[in-house]
Structure 1
């Protein structure tokens, strides 16, 4: 009888210790997340253009409350969060206008940039409004820029981030492919154009990933997360041409931010 009581008492102590350790581990994890100082930089894919619910105070930058940086900060409650991403930003805009919140105490930085430098908007305008030949030629021009000029531009902004936030983990996120090939679209661009646009996205992502890796940054590929949710998929997380709000065209919807960018960033943060 005494032995059984001793065994039960020992089991109770062991269970209590396990629970205490688990609780301590969770508290430590929560404390670690709360201690983070997070800064979100970049272009419209980070600011959340296309997701709606824009912060009026952000003006033309169109920072959305549904953008992945805002969603991540709401879920993890970092000790500080600065959201300076801005619609239309190029690498030079990030360097000139967005880096003020960075400092030696910054722990985490997210960034999307390079698409505007490569002429993303003009490529899509050309492809939608002009001939297939003009579309393919404009894509080739953009790829030439990615080869010749973009690496140096990326180096500049990546180096500027490291200079101001030497200890930060920097997560550089890429861009999705726009189209599901042989999908549900029956009008608009040709399959050849759609394939070339997808290939250009891959080309841009490869260049961004290479420069990020050379600076010791994490590259987060969002293409797998968006697979099955491209335009022409029937379950798109990207706007096609939006004639009522042309600036939202070819940008992630709120679902693209929460279902595409957010989990990919979370897995790297």
Structure 2
């Protein structure tokens, strides 16, 4: 398949640390709090909808931000979508979930792909696989919401679900701790974090991937209980995009304080390279294996933000001379402690532009056969019209 045939047609803050305050939940949010209803004899009629389950990378965490700026006041150079003209109201972006921290944004990929009339976002920021499982099978409520599989059961009993998109496993792996430790080590000049954090991930990844597989089993179980045949819907499992670049593609030098005080990407060169070229691909590879084992479609987005990452040489901060745009701005939220701009849990998540790009990926794969896997990528210097699919390798 050529790039042309799948190309879409849509179109620092000074002193943001200290990193000890950092906590970066990989989010996932849910709209429904009801538990599963009785099994239905058959799926409901009407137009099919797409439902997203999982964590922050699909719930819409950081959708408040159109790029990044080191302006602290007002609209932050046009990047803060919560600016009301006289203050800030995160519910303008996250709705009611701004209160419980699920942070389901209005630009979350499933909504930007299909619109609110054809999509429902049940993901919640910070969720783990245990928050996906049904309560009757060990699932746990999270942030005041029922387990996501139980929410899906209630939804699928009343509306016809055609696709379930799942992003989960990152919080099981301890991404929060890994990223936090790399930032702390950089700020303390304590050397690289990659070896210790790679060992931690290796120790947890088998269990995490097994639980991702169980999450897929849970989805199938509730769909079957609601009367859906296996052929009546598809499940798409997706990987995680890298919000940070390789060291050779970071516009700020490793020495000095610019990565901290301007860029919002405080990490050493070796740790950047490890995260971009080892950790993210490792997780993507393992998730692809889970998808193959469970017979579901795999959407690999590990390279989606290439050239649009925080601190990339191919983009820049927004400012008075350069308003935010999908062509020039960063597509992921930079590091913030939550003291001056937004909340710290938004850090290192796809922002408004990144979520529109993820939505493009989802809309593109919806037009492809369900038995084929794809990688979704973008073009540096272009907006979401530069997002395209290639067959996954």
**TM-score bucket of the superposed structures, by smaller chain:** 0.7 to 0.9
| 1:56 and 2:79 are equivalent in the alignment | no
- Considering only aligned residues, what root-mean-square deviation do their CA atoms show, in Å? 1.9
Q: How many aligned residue pairs are there?
A: 231
Q: Deviation at 1:57?
A: 4.4
SS at match of 1:224: coil
Deviation of 1:224 after TM superposition, in Å, equals: 3.3
Alignment match, 1:125: 180
- Contiguous gaps of at least 5 residues in structure 2: 1-45, 65-92, 134-138, 140-146, 224-229, 254-258, 260-265, 316-328, 367-393
Contact 1:41 1:110 in 2 (8 A): yes
* Higher mean displacement: 182-191 or 123-132: 182-191
Q: Which of 197, 208, 211 is the equivalent residue of 2:287?
A: 208
Following TM superposition, by how much is the alpha carbon of 1:179 offset from its aligned partner in structure 2, in angstroms? 2.4
Residue 163 (str. 1) matches residue 221 (str. 2)? yes
Report the CA distance between 1:168 and its aligned residue: 2.0
Distance of 2:194 and 2:303 partners within structure 1 = 26
Q: Distance in 2 between matches of 1:205 and 1:44?
A: 16
Q: Which has the higher helix share?
A: 1
Q: Contact (CA 8 Å) 2:54, 2:167: kept in 1 or not?
A: yes
| CA offset digits 1:115-166 (Å, max 9, x no partner) | 11100111111110123344431232113311x3122111110111111224
Q: Distance in 2 between matches of 1:252 and 1:214?
A: 28
Q: Given the alignment, which residue of 169, 173, 178 partners 2:243?
A: 178
The residue number in structure 1 matching 2:109 is 68
Change (3 A) 1:132 1:240: farther
Q: 1:54 & 1:195 partners in 2: Cα distance?
A: 33
For the structure 1 residues 178 and 37, does the alpha-carbon distance in structure 2 shift closer, same or farther, using more than 3 Å as the test? closer
Contact 1:107 1:168 in 2 (8 A): yes
* Partner residue of 2:304 out of 214, 225, 230: 225
**Over 6 Å off, 4+ runs:** none
Residue 5 of structure 1 aligns with which residue? Answer: none
Given that residues 218 and 268 in structure 1 are in contact (C-alpha distance below 8 angstroms), is that contact kept between their aligned partners in structure 2?
no
* 8 Å contact from structure 1 (residues 88, 116) kept in 2: yes
Can you list the C-alpha shifts for 1:80-138, whole angstroms capped at 9, x where unaligned? x4321000011111113111224474211111101111001111111101233444312
Q: 2:330 aligns with which of 220, 236, 240?
A: 236
SS of equivalent to 2:52: strand
Query: Which whole-Å deviations, capped at 9, do the CAs of 1:188-228 have from their partners, x for residues lacking one?
Result: 31110001111101111111111012111111111332111
Partner residue of 1:93 out of 123, 131, 145: 131
Q: State the TM-score, normalized to the length of structure 2.
A: 0.56
Q: Which has the higher contact order (CA 8 A, sep 6+)?
A: 2
Write the mapping of 1:15-94 to structure 2, written as runs, cut at 5 A.
35-52=47-64, 53-57=93-97, 59-74=100-115, 77-78=117-118, 81-94=119-132
